[in-house]
Every structure is written in C-alpha cells, then in structure tokens.
A and B are shown apart, each in its own frame.
Chain A
C-alpha cells in the first residue's frame, strides 16, 4: 500500500508541476481580426488602433505579450486621464480575452492531453494516495502526528502550500491573462457541458469540484466508522458537483441563466445586482422561478432550517465554501485560533461584513427601483469595492490561501455574511446545541484543538454547559475526537438551551442552583 501511496504523491506532484509550467508554454501573436472579435462594439475601432504596434509580432511569453499590451493600452488611457477625459477612458480589461485569442501553444492544440497530464494525473495521484489510507488500522480517531507534520503544523510544506494557493488566487482574480493556457485546456469540457468556451471561472470550478471529490475520499477514509462525518462529506461532494458545477453549466446549454440553486444571498452578494435582476426578468418563467427561489431561500429556508437543525444544514452539508473547507481544508482545521481575543475580532469583523453586504444590497435595490435616479452609478463602485475586498481578497485569497496558516474556516468564521446571518438565527432562535455529557469531561482539549471555527469547546464542556455558539458549523469533529463520549450535536427543546450557570452532575456536596 505504501508503494501505491508514494506513487500517488509522485503522480500528484507531476500533475501539479505540469499545471504550474503551463503558463510558460507557447507564443502569442495578435492581429486586428482578433481584436475586433474580442472587444465590445464601442471599443473595437479604438482598441484596434491602440494595439496596432503589436500586430504581426510574435511574443515568446505571456510576460512579454501582456507587458506590451499594457504599454500600448496604458499609454492611451493615461493620456486621457491626464486630460481628465474620463468618458473616453476604456475601463474594460481586455488583456485576458486578447491573450487567450493570441496564444499558440501545445496546450491549445492538445487540450485533452494536457488536462490528462495535469489535472488528470493530480486527481489520479490524489486518489491513489487517499484510497489506501488507514487500510490496515481499525476505525477510530486518526489524528496521529498532526502536530509533528510539516504540512499540517505550519512547517515549510504548509508555508509553500499556502504561498502557492495565495499566488493561484491572485492570478485567478486579478491576472487571468497569465493562465489562458489552462483555460484553453478545460475548454473542450466546457463545450460539452454548456456549449460555450471556458472562462477562468470554469477552470476554477473544475479544479474546485475535483479537489472536493478527491479530498472527500480522504474524509471517507479518515472517518471510517463515523456515519455523521461520512454523510455530511458525501453531501458537500454532491452539492458541489451537481448544484455548483454541473447544473449551472447545463442551464446555459439549455439557454437559461447560469444559476447555482444552493447559493444564498448575502454569500451570493450579486444576487440583487441590477444585471442579475435583469437576467432573471428577461429569462421568462425559469428566470422568475430563480428569483423567487433565491428570495425564498433567504427569508424562509435560512430561518426555518436553522431553527430546526442549526446552521450546519448549510455550512457543513451544502455550502461550496464549506465543502472545500471540510475536505481540502480538513488537514488544517487544528490551526484556527482559539483565544478569546480571536473570538472578539471574529464577532466584529463578520458582523461588519454582514452590515456592509446588507447596506450595499439595500442601496442597490433602492437605486434599481428608482431607475438609477437615487445614486446613479455609485452602486457600481460599491459593487467593485465589495467584489474586490470581500468577494475576491477575503473569500478567495485569504479564505483559502490561508488554510495552512490560520485553519480552514478563515472566511467562514471572519468574513462570510451568510454565516453571520445563519449564526444570529442559531444563537438566538434554534433547537441546535452541542450537549455536554454531564460530568464526563476530562478537559483534555481535543475538542477545542480540532474545532475549525476556533470555538473553545472545552470551556463549556468542562463546566457541564451546553455549547450554543453563533459560529458553530456543526461539523461534529469535536464529538468525533472526544475520548470520553462527552459531546453530542443535538436538536432539542429550546427551553434551558442556554444555561449560564450549570452544575456538574456527580457531586452532591453542593446543592445550590443558580
């Protein structure tokens, strides 16, 4: 088995290497037809003129191509900005579509081959590594060596992994022109699913989904004999694959709006943006259904399901961010900060994001219904700020890139406005709690250590108190790792759910009841 696992790591690393060197392959040649085909009507003439110096030249790398593009493009824009001719400045960034159109590379010529050699090998290697895990061991807690691991305890492997993830997200969000080869690589797959060529978001979605599946298999092995963990892992794998990845693409194939039926505002922060609303309203009955479905999720599903089951129904069973955190991020769960200070920061930050999202959405809707008389284009700037700061930087770069540094739920804990909303319901009006089993706690600290949300579970358990916390996503790992059977996730009566002054069972010397 060890041989197969080693081979798996080898294949994974080969796949990752090939994926990583792909941007350096091929050359770039631009001509006027490509510019005309890849720019908006209003910019066609201007762009064709601006980029004239690039025509016919062969750029040997994406660096030289993008740098030349920027030189020409910025020269034009900067001149206009200098003269304060803001209306004539071209705000659209055409670097990605033009780089994509200009590239000539083996990847573009043989997309399936490169997909097999990169993503394919990585997935195969990952499965070969994960499937035989813990094969000859009885089922049980598999946390051996976590804090002796360079990968899982902020050693050099963790640092490199984190740095790689951060770099990937920065390129994906802000410099996609550098990864046009990888986008070409997944284009045939995109054509099959949606009938359209791939964007960088399709590339991202593909990798994201496969990562959840491969690391979901790891969860099945790690938590063998633990049905709660297995079922919720299967659930996030299903919702990611079907709801987040396949169904939206198939909707596009059927000429319907792209829509993720399980993504809920305010996590889905652009749900009420004017272009979204226009899309829904112009897509007939299906569009109307999507609009109503999305609103029902916000006003009915969230409070109702959270009342009955806690926020876990979403965060650790359905959500895509949660799905990634619970599978790819599981090896890093123990790195979350459990200090009281971190909890204070958490409450301030996450609720600020919620307020920001609500205010932004409120203004957007008001603006929309006033026919843009209220604020004009100011909401657009609000949107781009939110999209940059929260949607990309916080949720992506920090949210996932920081897994190996701050644990796997940085975004969910500190940033997700939907988690904040679900958390308010969970804290104040829900049947969910983690029950402490009388006096059985030995304060060992496994529960707190392995809580991905940084909840000091032991604080409650050792004083015999039920755990009711807004942030708890109900992953159930505290209960799994408890060596004395002290913790149980339960939905029960809301009476006495929050008991500030518990009495630990077993000592009759003390009879007072607070």
Chain B
C-alpha cells in the first residue's frame, strides 16, 4: 500500500473521526483529511440537548482539545461537499474548491425524516440532528412559544420534550403507535416510559398522527391538526419520526445507493477505493439476525469507524459486531439493553421474566429461550455491567446462573438500593430452580438499604 496516499473522510461524526484516529494509530505516513460543513471540530451529537439545557457549553461536547488534530496530523477541512468525481478521484466543494483523494470514506450521517407533511417547511417546524438544528431550535424557542408539539415517538422526540421543558414550554407529544417507542420496547417497558413522561407533565397522545401543520402570519406555524381532527394551537413543532441517511448529493451518481450507500462487510462500495460507514451506510444484508442493514446508533458508528480504520491500514478484517447493546435516557430514567429483547416475541420460542419496582421507575426484563438460556436483558432505572452480560450472552448462560450472579452485574453506585436482591427473589418465586439470592452486605444493612 502506498505510504503517502491521501485518505479523505467526509463527515466528522463518531464514525468518521474514529476511523481517522484508528488509521493514524496504525499508519504514521498516510495523509488524512476530515471534511465537515457542520463544525470544524468533532463534537458529540448526543450531547446537543445538554447545551440547550445549560448543562454544558458547546466546547464541552468536543471530546478532543483543538490541538489534538494537528498533533496527530489529521487535517480538518470545514466545507460542504457538493459533488464527487469518482473517476478523477476528486471532490468539489460548494465553495468551488477541489480536493483530490486516493481513498474516500463517506460518513455523512443522517438527517431527520420528513414525510411530506403539509406545512413541514413552515418557520418554527424542525427536526433535531445537527449543530445547526440546535441553533435553529434555540432561535425558534426564544420567545412567544406557548405550546410545542412533537411528532414521532422515539429517542430524539423525548430529548426534545425534555429540552422544551427546560424552557417551561408545555409539550404535546403525538405518537402514531399504541405505546411509546413500542417498535423497540416491550409493552411494560413502553408503559413505564409513558408514565414517566406524564409525570413530567408531557401531554402524551398515543395512537395519534399528524395530518397537517397550519400556517399563521409570516409563514410561521400557528397550530397543527391531528388525523383525528383536533386542532392544537402551537408555535413550535418538532418532527422526530426517525432519521434517514444523509446522502442526497450522492444520488444519481455511479455510486450504488438505496436508503444508504450500499456496502459490503468491508465497508467497500461498488466503486473501488470508496468506502462508507456509520449512519449513512447500508449493508447488502443485515450483519446479524438481530440487526438491520442500516445501523444508526452511536456505538455502531464507532465500531464501523474502528473497523474501517484497520481495513484502510491494510489489516484483513471484516465487520463482525459482537453482542448487541444500547442505552438511552428517558428524562430521569436510564435504560440499558444487552443482547436481543425485541418489542414482541413468540411465546412458543421464548420465555420472559419481568420485574418492576413498586415505584414504577425501575424495571428489569430477562428474555430466555425455551432451554432457559439468556437471549437479552432490558434494564430501567438502574445500571448493569456490560462486560458481565457480554460474557453471559456469549457463553449462553442459563437464566438461573445469570440471576444468581446478578450482584456481580450490578453497576449502580455504592449505597444504592440493592434491586438485584428483589429481582433474584422474584425470579426464584416465578421460575423456581436453584437460584442464589444475595445477602445484604454489612454496609447495606448499616444504612438501612431497602428496595
């Protein structure tokens, strides 16, 4: 491999940046350029909400100090790419400048889904994905918003609701499905989140869809109308019905695209020396039974970037994700998941154990196959150890073994209520078997820990 080749990465999100860093670690010589029109320096997209709420400033969301890039000889180019000449291996920027590459990585991420709703282009109507979206949202909510409507029941929607609550803006939340995020969460978990949203005074409307956004003077949103015919006056509308790969500038070129840029498990597109990773990449087939061809999660973006960094450095590897995991936070309730827990399962092939704390904010689900072996877990309101479940799911531990060792899996801070003891008791009474129930430690007894 030529040592003075030029690798150009379009997009400085977690995928692109991880790829650049890995490649630099493995190859001292290669010239690396990362392009972004959104922001010169890499920042954590997941933290945008915290800037809005005053928990952090924008600079705090930048995981590396500004000198880091020069020190690691990763060139940063702040610009938008207009088009790519794949045969000449040349990028054309909107400014008219050009940049030649030897190897190209497309890591342009996502953009909010817009389903052609009437009025979706009105002022005060927006999605939330980029730094510019955040700035727009700050502008849109500066004054005069008596009510906001959020459309689409996913993670960005609930983040947006939390952000609006910071500004004391009442929120009506339209969710098309019968439960919040119920294409991912089983019924009980979805209900737990819904309850908590209502505790935060969010007006959650399930089974409700947006029909149109109604304009007031100056092409500004005045109200929305739901499919059931209700008109809800509002001055802000958040459209958060998922995201889609941001590859408009690549459509109708010789690059093969579908929803995203089509790639194999080496992130190779149909054009040699052109790769794609992160949210905007679409595998020819899903990387595993419980995964989708387009993976739009922080963690998968990081793994794509990590893997491609190795590939570009000449290592013979392909993308092989391990045990699935994910996390989120619903207002005050943290959520983690390890392995596979779908929203619905066939009771003939799986057995489920579900425990919920009396307070209704802490819950645990263990999904097992018919032999009682762990398939996955969901946990809400308390923390579990990734390493533990990675090992348990890989090793196909029985539910009994997992539950018996649950004290080792606990990742809550010291002195917190030992929920795992209650979970062990509940599992034992439901499934019987040889379950070990942990004893309270001396400290837990001393401070009167109770669940």
Q: Is B189 an interface residue (CB 8 A)?
A: no
Q: Which residues of A contact B47 (CB under 8 A)?
A: 442-446
Q: Is A344 an interface residue (CB 8 A)?
A: no
Residues 135-157 of chain A, each 1 if its beta carbon lies under 8 Å from chain B, else 0: 00011110111111100000000
Q: Is A462 an interface residue (CB 8 A)?
A: yes
Say yes or no: A509 contacts B317, CB within 8 Å.
yes
Say yes or no: A484 contacts B336, CB within 8 Å.
yes
Q: Which residues of B contact A480 (CB under 8 A)?
A: 413
Residues 275-304 of chain B, each 1 if its beta carbon lies under 8 Å from chain A, else 0: 000000000000000000000001100110
Q: State whether A509 and B318 are in contact (beta carbons under 8 Å apart), knowing that A149-B54, A449-B60, A485-B411 are contacts in the complex.
A: yes
Q: Which residues of B contact A231 (CB under 8 A)?
A: 415, 447
Q: Is B65 an interface residue (CB 8 A)?
A: yes
Say yes or no: B322 contacts A440, CB within 8 Å.
no
Chain A, range 211-244, C-beta contacts under 8 Å to B: 226-228, 231
Binds A, one of B116-124, B209-217, B326-334: B326-334
Say yes or no: A506 contacts B65, CB within 8 Å.
no
Distance A483 CA – B385 CA, assembled complex (angstroms): 15
Distance A442 CA – B384 CA, assembled complex (angstroms): 16
Q: Which residues of A contact B73 (CB under 8 A)?
A: none
Q: Is A488 an interface residue (CB 8 A)?
A: yes
Q: State whether A507 and B411 are in contact (beta carbons under 8 Å apart), knowing that A438-B387, A444-B61 are contacts in the complex.
A: no
Chain B, range 398-414, C-beta contacts under 8 Å to A: 411-414
The secondary structure that dominates the A interface is loop
Q: Which residues of B contact A140 (CB under 8 A)?
A: 331-332
Q: Is A98 an interface residue (CB 8 A)?
A: no
Say yes or no: B46 contacts A442, CB within 8 Å.
yes
Q: Determine how close the nearest CB of chain A comes to the CB of B335; give it in whole angstroms.
A: 9
Q: Is B63 an interface residue (CB 8 A)?
A: yes
Q: Which residues of A contact B60 (CB under 8 A)?
A: 445, 448-449
Q: Determine how close the nearest CB of chain A comes to the CB of B451; give it in whole angstroms.
A: 12
Distance A462 CA – B200 CA, assembled complex (angstroms): 31
Distance A194 CA – B272 CA, assembled complex (angstroms): 85
Q: Is A339 an interface residue (CB 8 A)?
A: yes
Q: Is B251 an interface residue (CB 8 A)?
A: no
Q: Is B306 an interface residue (CB 8 A)?
A: yes
Say yes or no: B332 contacts A489, CB within 8 Å.
no
Q: Is B431 an interface residue (CB 8 A)?
A: no
Q: Which residues of B contact A401 (CB under 8 A)?
A: none
Distance A155 CA – B285 CA, assembled complex (angstroms): 54
CB closest chain-A residue, reference B46: A442
Q: Is B273 an interface residue (CB 8 A)?
A: no
Q: Which residues of A contact B370 (CB under 8 A)?
A: none
Q: State whether A489 and B414 are in contact (beta carbons under 8 Å apart), knowing that A149-B54, A438-B390, A448-B60 are contacts in the complex.
A: yes
Q: Is B57 an interface residue (CB 8 A)?
A: yes
Residues 316-353 of chain B, each 1 if its beta carbon lies under 8 Å from chain A, else 0: 01111111010111011010100000000000000000
Say yes or no: B200 contacts A138, CB within 8 Å.
yes
Q: Which residues of A contact B386 (CB under 8 A)?
A: 437-440, 505-506
Most-contacted residue by chain A among B61, B200, B321, B386 (CB, 10 A): B386
The number of A-B residue pairs with CB atoms under 8 Å apart is 161
Q: Determine how close the nearest CB of chain A comes to the CB of B297; give it in whole angstroms.
A: 10
Q: Is B4 an interface residue (CB 8 A)?
A: no
Say yes or no: B334 contacts A505, CB within 8 Å.
no
Q: Is B142 an interface residue (CB 8 A)?
A: no
Say yes or no: A444 contacts B332, CB within 8 Å.
no
CB closest chain-A residue, reference B266: A509
Q: Determine how close the nearest CB of chain B comes to the CB of A144; give it in whole angstroms.
A: 5
Say yes or no: A226 contacts B61, CB within 8 Å.
no
Q: State whether A488 and B383 are in contact (beta carbons under 8 Å apart), knowing that A506-B303, A509-B307 are contacts in the complex.
A: yes
Q: Determine how close the nearest CB of chain A comes to the CB of B38; give it in whole angstroms.
A: 16
Residues 43-63 of chain B, each 1 if its beta carbon lies under 8 Å from chain A, else 0: 010110010011111001111
Say yes or no: B447 contacts A227, CB within 8 Å.
yes
Q: State whether A147 and B54 are in contact (beta carbons under 8 Å apart), knowing that A485-B411, A488-B411 are contacts in the complex.
A: yes
Say yes or no: A444 contacts B50, CB within 8 Å.
yes
Q: Which residues of B contact A440 (CB under 8 A)?
A: 299, 325, 327, 336, 386
Q: Determine how close the nearest CB of chain A comes to the CB of B251; give it in whole angstroms.
A: 29
Q: Is B14 an interface residue (CB 8 A)?
A: yes
Q: Is A476 an interface residue (CB 8 A)?
A: yes
Say yes or no: B322 contacts A507, CB within 8 Å.
yes
Distance A227 CA – B415 CA, assembled complex (angstroms): 6
Say yes or no: B65 contacts A340, CB within 8 Å.
yes
Distance A141 CA – B321 CA, assembled complex (angstroms): 33
Residues 374-401 of chain A, each 1 if its beta carbon lies under 8 Å from chain B, else 0: 0000000000000000000000000000
Q: Is B364 an interface residue (CB 8 A)?
A: no
Q: Is B310 an interface residue (CB 8 A)?
A: yes
Q: Which residues of A contact B332 (CB under 8 A)?
A: 138-141
Say yes or no: A506 contacts B323, CB within 8 Å.
yes
CB closest chain-A residue, reference B413: A228
Say yes or no: B334 contacts A483, CB within 8 Å.
yes
Instruction: Choose from B50, B61, B200, B307 the contact partner of A507 (Cβ within 8 Å).
Output: B307
Q: Is A33 an interface residue (CB 8 A)?
A: no
Q: Which residues of A contact B417 (CB under 8 A)?
A: 227
Distance A449 CA – B323 CA, assembled complex (angstroms): 31
Distance A480 CA – B329 CA, assembled complex (angstroms): 13
Q: State whether A462 and B310 are in contact (beta carbons under 8 Å apart), knowing that A444-B50, A508-B322 are contacts in the complex.
A: no
Residues 438-451 of chain B, each 1 if its beta carbon lies under 8 Å from chain A, else 0: 00000000010100
Q: State whether A443 and B303 are in contact (beta carbons under 8 Å apart), knowing that A448-B60, A484-B336 are contacts in the complex.
A: no
CB closest chain-B residue, reference A483: B329
Most-contacted residue by chain A among B63, B199, B412 (CB, 10 A): B63
Distance A485 CA – B336 CA, assembled complex (angstroms): 8
Q: State whether A510 and B306 are in contact (beta carbons under 8 Å apart), knowing that A437-B386, A438-B390, A444-B46 are contacts in the complex.
A: yes
Q: Which residues of A contact B199 (CB under 8 A)?
A: 138
Chain A, range 423-463, C-beta contacts under 8 Å to B: 435, 437-440, 442-446, 448-449, 458-459, 462
Known pairs A439-B325, A443-B14, A509-B310; list 4 more (Cβ under 8 Å): A227-B413, A442-B44, A449-B60, A483-B334
Q: List 24 A-B contacts (CB under 8 A).
A: A138-B331, A141-B332, A143-B50, A143-B55, A145-B54, A146-B54, A147-B56, A437-B411, A438-B387, A438-B390, A440-B325, A443-B46, A444-B46, A444-B61, A445-B47, A481-B55, A484-B334, A484-B336, A485-B383, A505-B386, A505-B387, A505-B390, A506-B299, A509-B310
Closest 4 CB pairs of A and B: A438-B386, A140-B332, A485-B383, A444-B47
